[in-house]
Structure 1
Amino acid sequence: MTRRIALTVLALVTVLLVLAVVPLGVLLTEREETSFRSAAEASARALASAAEENLSDHKPETEMLRVLADTQADGGCAAVYDATGQAIARTSCTTATGGSVPAMVTAVLAQPRTDVTRADGRLTVAAPIGDSEDAVGVAVLVRSADPLNDRIAVVWGWLAAIGVAGLLAGVLLSVRLARWVGSPLREVDEAAQRLGEGALEVRAPTGRGPQEVRRLAATFNTMAGRNEALVHGHRTVIADVSHQLRTPLAALRLRLDLLAADADEETATDLAGAQDEIARLSRLVDGLLAVARAESAVPRPVTVRVDQVVAERIAAWEPLASERGVALAGHCPDGLSAPLGAGDLEQVLDNLLANALDAVPGGGHVRVEGRAGRGAAKLRVVDDGPGMSVRARESAFRRFGNPEAGGTGLGLAIVHRLVTANGGTARLEDTDGGGLTVELDFLARAAPMTR
């Protein structure tokens, strides 16, 4: 954004400079050319006036020769022609008598008027001597256009310097403006990224940039403060509920154990059923608390070696799989990694493997497959058990959403919360040949290394 603002302002300044400098340069060039031509015509008329005193009034040619000398001293060439087109006086240089000058003299004598031409880097002026209807001669003045070109070059040089100075000023202005607007926005963006990574205490600076950016930073800080309060409040509630529910359940289970020790066989059977229900209730409470923690937690991602975690969880669940007669295997390419919250992948795999081992009968297979795809880590937990119906798959990620669940119905809900909290996706598919496949995609993103 900063670059776009700077380039936009710089382009605008460049266009304004071009629209201002180029027309001004053209105007000044035309003015210099007009001034140079007018000066040459005035000098030619002055020469014609001095020559007229000699040709018409038969006065001495002293004044005419003085004007010729002054013209040569100014760097010009001049000549005076009589009515027959013969040069009667001229400067030492021959420019005013050669080239196209004779043709100009003939034209002016035939039709008395001042004729001006510019060619080969010279300006030639032919002015009639005498009356406008009956010329007695022609005064020709030739001047080099080099002084004019030098003045025009100086004009364009100054204009170019002004343009460059204006462009540099525009660059400084655009950079300052871009930083003034972009830096606070970048800080808000960085604060938002840190907030998303779990730094609930982060806030954006509010004292820099335009009013709209300051208002955005203040709004972000308000939102961040409320989120921090909600998350901390949620965590406090979870801790309180965990303590308040687990303590009486543990006390109740202890009392039932004491009663079962001294009870007769029939009463002991009833008490064993009650203990099973308490154990089920304990698992249900643990599952609800796990879901609540997954929903309220804001993971701080670190780089997790997915291949190592898969190998560890396979090794941890292998004894239970062997006991139930289920073949458990896993495969991940070496070095496969993903940015995840610490411990989240272990919890996800534990829930998926527990569900799979509960669903697959003896002789079945469960395998965990990992692969890399476009910078992301992909995991598949595949089993050949009874699978799930379409209706069950559609609601399996909701709390108690799976009507076919044999346990608490919270395992897949925990998996879904943990995966989505880390920016990934989870979906359920049928396994070819029967069974259920859980596919997990963890998006690739920068993960700061934490200690």
Structure 2
Amino acid sequence: MTRRIAWTLLILTSVLLVLAVVPLAVSLTAREHVAYRDSQRAATRVIAAAAEEHLSDNKPPIVMRQELDAAARAGDCAAVYDASGRLVASTPCKAAEGEEAEELVEAVLTGHEPEPPENEGRLLAAEPAGEVRRPAGAVVLARSAGPLDARIAAIWGWSAAIGVAGLTASAVLSVRLARWVGRPLSTLDASARRLGEGALGERAEVGAGPPEVRRLAATFNTMAARTEALVHGHRAVIADVSHQLRTPLAALRLRLDVLATGAEGDTAVELAAAQEEIARLSRMVDGLLAVARAEQTTPRPTAVRVGEVVDERVAAWSPVAEERGVRLAVVREGTAPTAALGEGHLEQVLDNLIANAVEASDSGGSITLGHGTIRGRIRVSVRDDGPGMTDEAKAVAFRRFGNPEARGTGLGLAVVHRLVTANGGTARLEDTPGGGLTVVLDLPLWVEDGHGQGGA
């Protein structure tokens, strides 16, 4: 953002300077040309007036010679021609003579306005001596273009200096303005990213930048403080519930175990049913706490080698699957990818998915775990050949107790969905070809700068 602001202001200033300085320099150059030409023509007319007295009135050429000498002392070259185009007098310098001068004289004597050329760095001017229609002669004056070129060079030099100075000042001011606006926004962006990664104590700097940015930083800090208080409050509630529920459940279970030891007949049957309900209630409490923890997750992405985690969880669940007569397998698609996930989250997700698949599969069934990279995302799938789900059950399976057909607590997929989405991924359910259910996870890919593509 800082570069964009600086470059935008710099380009805008450059355009304004070009639109202002270049036309001004062109205008001043044209004015210098006109002024120089007017001065040269005025000097030529002075000599022409003195030459007319000699050519028309046959007066001595004393005044004409004086004007020619004055022109020579000024560095000009001048020549006087009579009505037939014959050279009458000239300065020692011969630049006012030659073919170009003769063409100018011919044009003046015929009553035309000549176009004065530039001859070897000298400007030529011609004026009639006497009346324009019936001149008694003509005067040609050649003047060096050096002073004019020097003035024009000075004009463009000063214009360039003004442009460079303006551009330099604009660059300095643009960079300072861009940093003044962009640096607080970059700091705020970094604070927001760290807050999103789980640093709940992160706060933005409020005392820098424009008033709007300072207000935005203050609003962000208020939001961060409320979020921190809310998350800590929920975590405290979860901890209290975990302690307050598990302790009496454990005590009740122990008492039922003691009572069941000496029970017989119908009493033993009833106590066994009560023990099963207590165990089911314990599993449900654990599932609800797991869902609550997943909902409060603010993960800090770390590099997770998906292939290694999948192999590890398959090895851990293989004894359980073999005991139930279910085969676990892994299918790798391409190189082993690295995902950007919270620490331990992929293990928890796979544990829930494999547990559900093992629970849903009959003896002789199979569960296949696959992983690979597809379009810049990591895809992990868990496929079983169990009874599968109806479309209605799949639509609500990621909610708490959403699947009425679940054999367990119905909370495993809710935990999976919340952990995956908290890390910036997606989860969906598909039918396995031939029967069964496939859970497809798309996870963010780990990149070199330490963040995931489309991460949390």
TM-score, length of structure 2 as denominator length: 0.93
Correspondence for 1:28? 28
Correspondence for 1:354? 355
Q: Higher mean Cα deviation, 329-338 or 30-39?
A: 329-338
> Does the alignment pair 1:17 with 2:32?
no
C-alpha distance in structure 2 between counterparts of 1:43 and 1:380, whole Å? 98
What secondary structure, in the 3-state scheme, does the structure 1 residue paired with 2:116 have? Answer: strand
Report the CA distance between 1:108 and its aligned residue.
2.5
Correspondence for 1:396? 397
What secondary structure, in the 3-state scheme, does the structure 2 residue paired with 1:423 have? Answer: coil
What secondary structure, in the 3-state scheme, does the structure 2 residue paired with 1:96 have? Answer: coil
* Partners of 1:114 and 1:125 within 8 A in 2: no
Q: State, as a whole percentage, how many aligned pairs show the same letter.
A: 61
Report the CA distance between 1:53 and its aligned residue.
3.9
Q: Higher mean Cα deviation, 116-125 or 23-32?
A: 116-125
Report the CA distance between 1:403 and its aligned residue.
1.2
Correspondence for 1:181? 181
What residue ranges of structure 2 are gaps of 5+ in the alignment? 452-456
Report the CA distance between 1:277 and its aligned residue.
0.2
Q: Could you report, residue by residue, the CA deviation over 1:366-413 in whole angstroms, capped at 9, with x for unpaired residues?
A: 011111223432111011111111111110000001011111000000
Correspondence for 1:162? 162
Correspondence for 1:195? 195
C-alpha distance in structure 1 between counterparts of 2:115 and 2:36, whole Å? 12
C-alpha distance in structure 1 between counterparts of 2:105 and 2:320, whole Å? 121
Q: Could you report, residue by residue, the CA deviation over 1:400-432 in whole angstroms, capped at 9, with x for unpaired residues?
A: 010111110000000000000111000000011
C-alpha distance in structure 2 between counterparts of 1:403 and 1:73, whole Å? 116
* Structure 2 residue identity aligned to 1:414: V
> Equivalent residues in 2 for 1:338-377 (5 A)?
338-377=339-378
C-alpha distance in structure 1 between counterparts of 2:109 and 2:450, whole Å? 95
What secondary structure, in the 3-state scheme, does the structure 2 residue paired with 1:194 have? Answer: helix
* Structure 2 residue identity aligned to 1:351: N
* Partners of 1:114 and 1:126 within 8 A in 2: no
Correspondence for 1:430? 431
* Partners of 2:399 and 2:414 within 8 A in 1: yes
Q: Could you report, residue by residue, the CA deviation over 1:19-77 in whole angstroms, capped at 9, with x for unpaired residues?
A: 11111011111111011101101110121233234334544433322322332333322
Correspondence for 1:83? 83
Q: Higher mean Cα deviation, 139-148 or 387-396?
A: 139-148
Correspondence for 1:409? 410
Residue 372 to residue 110, structure 1, CA distance change in 2 (3 Å): closer
> Does the alignment pair 1:8 with 2:15?
no
* Partners of 2:335 and 2:372 within 8 A in 1: no
Report the CA distance between 1:300 and its aligned residue.
1.2
> Equivalent residues in 2 for 1:46-125 (5 A)?
46-111=46-111, 115=114, 117-120=116-119, 121-125=121-125
C-alpha distance in structure 2 between counterparts of 1:27 and 1:92, whole Å? 36
* Partners of 2:341 and 2:444 within 8 A in 1: no
C-alpha distance in structure 2 between counterparts of 1:131 and 1:371, whole Å? 101
* Partners of 2:107 and 2:113 within 8 A in 1: no
* Structure 2 residue identity aligned to 1:417: R
* Structure 2 residue identity aligned to 1:66: Q
* Structure 1 residue identity aligned to 2:44: A
* Partners of 2:104 and 2:116 within 8 A in 1: no
* Structure 1 residue identity aligned to 2:163: G
* Structure 1 residue identity aligned to 2:173: L
Q: Higher mean Cα deviation, 392-401 or 92-101?
A: 92-101
* Partners of 2:10 and 2:174 within 8 A in 1: yes
* Partners of 2:191 and 2:204 within 8 A in 1: yes
Report the CA distance between 1:88 and its aligned residue.
1.1
Report the CA distance between 1:244 and its aligned residue.
0.9
C-alpha distance in structure 2 between counterparts of 1:24 and 1:448, whole Å? 54
C-alpha distance in structure 2 between counterparts of 1:108 and 1:368, whole Å? 104
What secondary structure, in the 3-state scheme, does the structure 1 residue paired with 2:409 have? Answer: coil
> Equivalent residues in 2 for 1:139-288 (5 A)?
139-288=139-288
C-alpha distance in structure 2 between counterparts of 1:448 and 1:85, whole Å? 92
C-alpha distance in structure 2 between counterparts of 1:299 and 1:116, whole Å? 85
C-alpha distance in structure 2 between counterparts of 1:252 and 1:125, whole Å? 123
Residue 355 to residue 133, structure 1, CA distance change in 2 (3 Å): closer
What residue ranges of structure 1 are gaps of 5+ in the alignment? none
Report the CA distance between 1:230 and its aligned residue.
0.8
C-alpha distance in structure 1 between counterparts of 2:432 and 2:386, whole Å? 9
* Structure 1 residue identity aligned to 2:345: D
Report the CA distance between 1:6 and its aligned residue.
1.5
Report the CA distance between 1:132 and its aligned residue.
5.2
C-alpha distance in structure 2 between counterparts of 1:58 and 1:130, whole Å? 13
Correspondence for 2:419? 418
Report the CA distance between 1:254 and its aligned residue.
1.2
C-alpha distance in structure 1 between counterparts of 2:109 and 2:371, whole Å? 103
Q: Higher mean Cα deviation, 287-296 or 371-380?
A: 371-380
* Partners of 1:360 and 1:386 within 8 A in 2: yes
C-alpha distance in structure 1 between counterparts of 2:18 and 2:58, whole Å? 58
C-alpha distance in structure 1 between counterparts of 2:235 and 2:359, whole Å? 31
* Partners of 2:338 and 2:446 within 8 A in 1: no
Q: Could you report, residue by residue, the CA deviation over 1:174-207 in whole angstroms, capped at 9, with x for unpaired residues?
A: 2222111111111111111111111111111111
* Partners of 1:427 and 1:438 within 8 A in 2: yes
C-alpha distance in structure 1 between counterparts of 2:258 and 2:424, whole Å? 48
C-alpha distance in structure 1 between counterparts of 2:364 and 2:110, whole Å? 124
* Structure 2 residue identity aligned to 1:118: P
* Partners of 2:338 and 2:445 within 8 A in 1: no
Report the CA distance between 1:331 and its aligned residue.
3.6
* Partners of 2:327 and 2:366 within 8 A in 1: yes
CA RMSD in angstroms comes to 1.9
> Does the alignment pair 1:312 with 2:312?
yes
Q: Higher mean Cα deviation, 46-55 or 152-161?
A: 46-55
C-alpha distance in structure 1 between counterparts of 2:201 and 2:450, whole Å? 17
C-alpha distance in structure 2 between counterparts of 1:65 and 1:334, whole Å? 102
* Structure 2 residue identity aligned to 1:314: V
* Structure 1 residue identity aligned to 2:17: L
